[in-house]
Structure 1
């Protein structure tokens, strides 16, 4: 403990700088998107080499009445809104995605929790690392060995925290794959889907495409598996187990051998130390006392020494066993934390970051609007600066009628207008894509049924060879024909032109 205190006192400046740097890095990682937005805004605001100045040199006009440079600037900041605060529709899709992959309610392992785990393993491994430092740095001074033990303990703790977390995530993923297999085996439906060779088009953007599939297929669409959809060999768990057991046994062995070495050195030192006592039994024995007088005392001394050494050995072995057990328990706790916090879904981490800790869509929408408005204010400031520079450049270079009209209506072109236009276009594109997929699905389902109807259609009745129908039979036949006609109309597939016309009416675009 004295060496540790002396080390911390001697290198307090370096340790303090390292701690502050670590805190700064953690904060930057946690708010990385906001940090990038800050530097982007600063880059646009630079006086001579700023991006606003470069964009203002482009005075080309697009067909929609916007300067191309205005669209470029707005697209740049619109990406920050989508990255920092996804729209409320993505909140619903993210919740649905996590629910389908059975990971709703799970969280990522936070940076502070990782630091805490590393600190726990570091403290436990520090004593073992100090012993290793004596063999890793032979002949080094005590101070250098203490420094080496810190680095060795930090290295061991980082490696073990990584292995235990990967092992926990692997166990969680294997559990999901086993669940897929179990549910699939117990599915007795006649149209039970095949697990192998299926085309997977599920993403976070189009999470709804498998709403009608069984629950095990929804999990399968979101988890990476091998070709046979089996858990496979738990490689990370095996590697972590070997590392944990190896370090625990190695640490115990090195500690015990070091203890034996120290005990041997003490015994040799006791035997070679000079005896300055003037009166002792050994001195009397050397002068020729009878064995009958010295033997009881010698046996008593040997027995006391053996009992003392036995108790010392038992205490040391018990201490080493407790330390090894504590080390293994800490690693098991790390595996459990990895099992509870890791994600197996391909986009589960992204979905979790979108929904954050908001309990409902209403609270998310309120937060989303605040974030959107804050970014919009920054973007609008740079857009207004760009429009002013474009006006100056266009005036100095001379403008035609088209540019003059665009410049006169600059105040009507805002960042919010651009963002809403792009969101409407993206939503229309997504709906059209879903409609085309639905149309292809319906057509593929109707084609087999139509082929069956044509093959099983009755042959024309030969009126000359059959008897005339009775009124009851004629009514039944006509009823069947009308019902078949009604069913065909209900199964009518909407064409692309009809779908386009219907969506125009729904969006109020007119005919």
Structure 2
């Protein structure tokens, strides 16, 4: 066996070493994926001769000119902006706050995953080593039947490759199965609240919105089971969450079938070896031959028969012992395969997360015991990213200045504002753009809401007028139109959308009937005449007329309930303007006439 291993590794070291090296290098990449992505991005930008900087030097792009979106543009070249955008994403990942730290903890706490972790470097190393052991075991099991027309070493290499593929598939399936098992346990936890359900909509076992790390506290008033449902994706049936078993069944069939197939292959290999041994028993029994048959001395027939019987019995005993030992070994190997898969599944069950954003929240806070520590760490990382970005930007700008074929004022100006085009200035400019866009979007949203309110008002007025027309209520029709027309008169005629609505509503004036002036204005002259007489008498020096003010005071109750100054100064208007003023003020013309007469009376008294 050792000779086979030695020959295999000697013949295919150039294949085995890269495979093992790549597998081992995959472990830190998996564990430190976010750091690896940043390192790889930085490498692609700065790589001499092949990096993105080389491309940007040849294609600098154009300078950004001031625009409505960015009126204070600093004049970054397209290439400079593109470079800064690569680093901006990582820079903003390290601009958190204490509130963000507490939000991440809140998210994990509401789904009960604040005590869970992801697999670390050690566990992933163990899993990869177990996978390689599986691949080797499958390679030896498949070697006699894989690539039968190839050389033994080639067949061994092919069998190892097939075994490696099977092991990788088993690893992925075990990871999926473990996560499904954990999600099923989360569903069991949710369903354990079934007897404690609240009444109404809060008793539903359904999510009540999309919860992210930013709005995680928006469902604090909801029951615990709905908080969990807002953070995990589950299958549902009849409005209730249900567990999933499809992946588990498929995984179980795969593992049991593969273990049985491996046992069967090894057994068939053993049977083939036993057939060879039975066909050539001297190969086994030669060392145990009690009767020398090759020394040239003839044996009697009875002794020859005894010798042949002993040799056959010895060979059969060895074959039986080999068969039993091999079967036990094969069973142990199949059991070991199942144990390795079960271990991988269990590790996937106790590590990892079911929440949609739980892994991200854990990545942000798991290294820190307090918000202060969290803030210090991210401030340090932000400075590091900013320094890397500025170094790359400086390299790009320096190379561009060497190859630009421009002269005169352009080159001078480019050098003058070179110091202002730095990464920090780029971040500030992007913040200004975002703030300006937010204000613009807010204004647009306000205008949209205002237009919608006007539309809703018009629709409601139309419906009310229509109902009044059907009911034959002329007074109601007059009241609705009189109230609406002054409001719609304020719509700007330059607004192309609303002016059409204004004109459409003005067509309803055919239903409006202005009240006759005499109907309401007739009682008004009586107190006016009385007051005029009182005034003239008051001007006389005779003391007999002294009680006259009391008469005026007596008439006051009839006018105190009507505030004739509520509509402003009406004495400046002519009688022909009364209808227009009434429309603008939203009242009937008779009321305006009455208020105007009282105001004129006040001026006469003065």
TM norm. shorter chain > 0.5? yes
Structure 2 equivalent of residue 145 of structure 1: 155
Deviations 1:422-452 (A, max 9, x none): 66967x979x99xx9xxxxxxxxxxxxxxxx
Distance 1:115 1:175 in 2: 27
1:174 counterpart = 2:179: no
1:410 to 1:92, Cα distance in 2 relative to 1, 3 A: farther
CA contact (8 A) 2:178 2:348 kept: yes
Distance 1:375 1:100 in 2: 33
Candidates 62, 67, 74, aligned match of 1:67: 74
Candidates 34, 37, 47, aligned match of 1:32: 37
Distance 1:12 1:135 in 2: 22
RMSD: 4.4
Candidates 277, 292, 300, aligned match of 1:266: 277
Structure 1 equivalent of residue 105 of structure 2: 95
Deviations 1:36-76 (A, max 9, x none): 14434669997774279725633436655232638946555
Structure 1 equivalent of residue 551 of structure 2: none
Structure 1, unpaired ranges of 5+: 288-293, 437-511
Candidates 229, 239, 251, aligned match of 2:262: 251
Structure 2 equivalent of residue 158 of structure 1: 168
Candidates 359, 382, 385, aligned match of 2:369: 359
Structure 1 equivalent of residue 16 of structure 2: 15
Structure 2 equivalent of residue 450 of structure 1: none
Residue 255 of structure 1, CA deviation: 1.3
Distance 1:190 1:141 in 2: 74
1:321 to 1:411, Cα distance in 2 relative to 1, 3 A: closer
Deviations 1:330-363 (A, max 9, x none): 1111110110123211122222222242333222
CA contact (8 A) 1:45 1:51 kept: no
Residue 209 of structure 1, CA deviation: 1.3
Structure 2 equivalent of residue 226 of structure 1: 235
1:317 to 1:2, Cα distance in 2 relative to 1, 3 A: same
1:128 to 1:118, Cα distance in 2 relative to 1, 3 A: same
Candidates 295, 302, 305, aligned match of 1:284: 302
Structure 2 equivalent of residue 443 of structure 1: none
Q: For residue 209 of structure 1, give the secondary structure of its aligned residue in structure 2.
A: helix
The number of residue pairs the alignment matches comes to: 419
Residue 305 of structure 1, CA deviation: 6.0
1:385 to 1:60, Cα distance in 2 relative to 1, 3 A: farther
Residue 242 of structure 1, CA deviation: 1.0
Candidates 356, 359, 375, aligned match of 1:349: 359
Residue 175 of structure 1, CA deviation: 0.7
Structure 2, unpaired ranges of 5+: 287-292, 446-606
1:303 to 1:409, Cα distance in 2 relative to 1, 3 A: closer
CA contact (8 A) 2:143 2:155 kept: yes
CA contact (8 A) 1:52 1:385 kept: no
Candidates 293, 307, 325, aligned match of 2:335: 325
Distance 2:140 2:333 in 1: 14
Structure 2 equivalent of residue 376 of structure 1: 386
CA contact (8 A) 1:244 1:328 kept: yes
CA contact (8 A) 2:187 2:241 kept: yes
Q: For residue 230 of structure 1, give the secondary structure of its aligned residue in structure 2.
A: strand
Higher relative contact order (CA 8 A, sep 6+): 1
CA contact (8 A) 1:56 1:386 kept: no
Residue 28 of structure 1, CA deviation: 5.9
CA contact (8 A) 1:122 1:156 kept: no
Structure 2 equivalent of residue 204 of structure 1: 213
1:282 to 1:269, Cα distance in 2 relative to 1, 3 A: farther
1:396 counterpart = 2:409: yes
Residue 163 of structure 1, CA deviation: 0.8
